[in-house]
Amino acid sequence: MQEYSQIVIDFVRQNHWWALPIVFALAFGESLAFISLFIPAWALLVAIGALINASGLVFWPIWLAGAAGAAAGDWVSYWFGFHFKDRIAHMWPLSRHPDMLPRGHAFMEKWGIPGIFIGRFFGPLRAVVPLIAGILEMDYWKFQSANVLSALVWAYVLLAFGDVGMGIAKWFGLAPWFD
């Protein structure tokens, strides 16, 4: 997996115009129920954040692409949960982990809208919170408000972490390959 990650990072470094669609796709995959279990997109987003100033990329469009991808992934997961409610428990991987849905249900019952924000920042929750919100028929506009706001914060944090981390590494002379 690390080999593929390096290929993506090198590609973005050499092809700046692809940064926006790649960041959108990574954030979408990271936020999509079930798919996020197989895509280490958060690490790639941090790495792309490290490329921003080091490679002359502009932060704000990349941030918005990441937020849009994350919001779209959660929206699809919500839609899936809303439309396939009872059948979801019989689908893989939930069919192999029957405790995930009741735990997710209890989490959403306890936290509600703030649960959308909390779920965005924790890997295992990120995959199921929007799905559960759809199953529970959470008000669409309340879900979307929390979804979009949390996506903006999440994308900013990941990309800025990489960007600031690279700045610190360069300051200490730990990233000579970007000079």
Q: Which residue has the higher pLDDT, 92 or 66?
A: 66
Spatial CB neighbours of 139, under 8 Å, sequence gap ≥ 6: none
Res. 95 pLDDT band, cuts 50 70 90: confident
Look at residue 39 and tell me whether its pLDDT is greater than 80.
no
147: confidence class by pLDDT, cuts 50, 70, 90 = very high
How far is Cα 28 from Cα 50, in angstroms, rounded to an integer? 20
Q: What are the backbone angles phi and psi of residue 165, rounded to the nearest 5°?
A: -60, -40
Cα–Cα distance measured from residue 51 to residue 41, given in angstroms and rounded to the nearest whole number: 15
Is residue 18 within a helix (H) or strand (E), and if so which, with residue range?
Answer: none
What does the pLDDT look like over 162-175, one tens digit per residue? 877 666 666 656 55
User: 3-state DSSP call for residue 149?
Assistant: helix
- With 0-12 / 13-18 / 19 or more C-beta atoms within 10 angstroms meaning exposed / middle / buried, residue 96 is exposed
pLDDT (0 to 100) of residue 179: 45
